[in-house]
Amino acid sequence: MKRLIFVSILGFIFLAFNVKTINDNQTTWERYFLLGQVGEDWAMTSCIAKDGNYLIAGYTKDLPNKSFVIKMTPDGDTLWARKFENSVVSTVAAFTICSTDDNGCIFGGFSDELNLVKIDADGNLVWNNIYSEVQHVLRSIKRTNNGDFVATGYKYPFTSLMIRIDLNGNLVWNRADPSFRDIGCFVETSDSGFIALASTPNPQIIKLNKSGTIEWSNNVPAGYGPAVINKIGENEYLITGLGDFIINENGDIITKFNIPFEPNELPTAFLYSSSTEEIRYMVRSTYKWLPQTVVSKIILYDLNGTILSEKLIVDSNNNSREIRGITQLYDGYLFTGIRNFDTATEQSIGKSMVIKTDSLLNYKTVGISNNGTNVADDYSLGIYPNPFNTSTKIKFNLPSRQYIEISVYDITGREIKRYDRMIYNSGTNELIFYGGNLSSGVYLLLFQSESELIYKKISLIK
C-alpha cells in the first residue's frame, strides 16, 4: 500500500488512493453523545444555524448540571461541542435555542436566575446576561420580525414570564403575570404582538401586544392539551397537542381535528410541517413505558388524521429512546432526545441522541446496515460517541476481508495512536480508542484500506 504524507488537519496529499470523506453517503443518520461525567445527558432541542449547520442544546446530569451546545454538519459530523460550567453561566440546563445572524445562537433554560446566553459560530461565549435573581425556567425563544428576541417560561413560584431583548442582550422589557402559571410556545402576529399557550393551570390561549401586555385569554377545549402553535395563514393559527385545532387572531376556534392516541401513549414533541397551504402535515413523537424499556414513536400525519409514516425509535439491543425536540429541515427532520437505558447491561447510560430523518421519517440506524445484516456493500466509518470523554468506539464496515490500518493524529499533525495493520473480516468491526491521557481538543482519525482512505474528526472533551 502506498504511504500517505500528512500535511495538516486541513488537508492531505494522496498517491494512488480513492479518497472519500465519510458522510454515510446519504442524508440520514443517528448519533449519540456523552459530555457529562456521570453518564446521563439530555439533548433537549435544536435549531438550524445561518450557515446551514445544526445546533443541539441540552444538559448533563453532572452535579451541578451543565448546559451544552453541539454544532454538527448536515452529514452528522461534529464541528465542536461546548459544555458550560456553572461558574461561567447560570443556565444549568438548556431547554430552548435560537440561531443568530453570526452563525451562533442564544440559549436559555433552567437557572437560579433569569439568564440568557449568547455564543458565537465557534461556541465561544459572547455574553451571559442576568435579568432577575429569581429561579426561572425558559421554555421557548424566538426571533421577532424586527430582530429582537422574545423568550417565555415561568419564574418560581409558577408566575408566567415573557422577556424581550435585543441582539446585544439588552433588556427591552420583562413581563411577569401571576394570573398564569406558565407560558410556553408562541408566535408573532401581524400586529407585532403574540399569541401564546399558557396555563392557569388549565390550558389557555392568550394574546399579548408587542409590549407584552395581555389583551385576551381563552380556554382550550377540554381534552385537547395544547403544546405547539404555528401560524398557517394570514390570520389562522394551528394548535397541536392531544388534539389539533385552528383558531383565528381573536382566539375563535375555526376547525377541530381528532388525532387518536394509543392507550398509555404520552406525547413528548410536536412539529407543524407544511409544504403548501393545501398540504398540511404534523410530526408527533410519543412514548409509553413497557417492561424494562421506553418505546418512542414518531408519526407523520395530515390534518385529516391519515397517518403517512410511522416509525418506532428502537434498536436491536432494546435500548430505551425518548424524543424531546423536533426541528424541520429542508429535506427531512431532526429529532433530539436521550437513549436512557441499556437492557443488556441494566444500566442507565443516558446518552444524548440526535436523529436526522428524510421527509418520510426514514433514517439510518447506528451499527445496523440497511438490509439488517452485518454484510456491507461499501466502506463506512462511525465513531460513537463523538464528542467523547475518555474513550469512544470506532466502528467500520467492510465489503470484503482485507488489511486495514487506522491512525489518530492531533491538530499539529503528530501521530498519537497507530493500530496494528491487520486483516479484518467483511461486515462490521469495532475498536476502542482511549483518550484518557490526552488533552481536550479536536483529533483526526485516518482509516486506510487496500483501496479506500477515509478521515474523520473526533472531539475529546474532559
CATH code, 315: 2.130.10.10
Angle at 167 (CA atoms; ends 163, 168), nearest 5 degrees: 100
Q: Using the 3D structure, point to which of 324, 358, 392 is the last residue of a domain.
A: 358
- Residue 269, in any domain of the structure: yes
pLDDT in the model for residue 109: 95
420-442 confidence digits (pLDDT tens): 888 888 888 889 898 888 988 88
pLDDT at 184 over 90: yes
State whether 155 and 233 are in the same domain. Answer: yes
pLDDT in the model for residue 65: 86
Range of the domain at 417: 5-22+375-460
The more confident residue out of 16 and 338 is 338
**pTM higher than 0.85, yes or no?**
no
Q: Using the 3D structure, point to which of 358, 385, 417 is the last residue of a domain.
A: 358
- Residue 448, in any domain of the structure: yes
Lowest mean pLDDT among 67-76, 100-109, 212-221, 415-424: 415-424
354: confidence class by pLDDT, cuts 50, 70, 90: very high
State whether 380 and 270 are in the same domain. Answer: no
308: cell is: 403517512
- Residue 71, in any domain of the structure: yes
Q: How many domains does the chain have?
A: 2
- Residue 324, in any domain of the structure: yes
pLDDT in the model for residue 227: 80
**Domain CATH number, residue 391:** 2.60.40.2550
Q: Contact at 8 Å (CB) between 459 and 78?
A: yes
State whether 236 and 307 are in the same domain. Answer: yes
Residues of the chain above pLDDT 90, percent: 33
State whether 354 and 271 are in the same domain. Answer: yes
How many residues are present in the chain? Answer: 462
**Beta pairing class for 452-460 and 18-21:** parallel
Q: Contact at 8 Å (CB) between 177 and 159?
A: yes
pLDDT in the model for residue 93: 93
49: confidence class by pLDDT, cuts 50, 70, 90: very high
- Residue 162, in any domain of the structure: yes
> What is the C-alpha to C-alpha distance for residues 280 and 278, in angstroms, rounded to an integer?
6
pLDDT in the model for residue 318: 60
Mean of all residue pLDDT scores within the chain: 80
> What is the C-alpha to C-alpha distance for residues 410 and 12, in angstroms, rounded to an integer?
14
Average pLDDT over residues 406-422: 84
pLDDT in the model for residue 373: 29
pLDDT at 20 over 60: no
- Residue 364, in any domain of the structure: no
State whether 398 and 275 are in the same domain. Answer: no
Of 279, 277, 282, the closest CA to residue 228 belongs to 282
- Residue 365, in any domain of the structure: no
Average pLDDT over residues 189-205: 91
The Cβ-side half-sphere exposure at 233, using a 13 Å CA radius, reads: 14
- Residue 370, in any domain of the structure: no
Lowest mean pLDDT among 276-290, 294-308, 309-323: 276-290
